[in-house]
Structure 1
């Protein structure tokens, strides 16, 4: 089960005090509310969890059409010095000034 974006909502799976699995949709805006979710969870099955996740992301990419699996992305030139995320670039020393400086470079 892979939670995905559904319209204006971010979706996550969470446990409850009753030991049940809950689907949580959050908009980040108290004015945006719904009681419906059409595409909140992608479900797939397989024997190898690593292969399953990779295949699921690729399938979901084709279905949604708004993102690509990392293997299908063009690698940006700045990847070597800035990394895919701030953790790659700064490790434990992430701070606003460092991020701004990295973006300027």
Structure 2
């Protein structure tokens, strides 16, 4: 893994009552930017371009295990994760990217 890599699990949304996308990456800023640019088919189709939740991990194996756990859970559990850290469903990308 690249020395600057920082494994993360994240959830993108198009709006509070809309589609949620859970993913894992070693470059959260870069991957979120790709979603915002609708560079992936899923992002383009469902307009999931708002970073609403993320967790940072020390290693990719832990991040992948957490992603699988979250994906296996219900929508209600994903919403509870988001609302525990981001009750207003703000887009976290600007502050993450330093903007």
Q: Which has the higher helix share?
A: 2
TM-score (structure 1 length as normaliser) = 0.29
Identify the structure with bigger relative contact order (alpha carbons < 8 Å, sequence gap 6+). 2
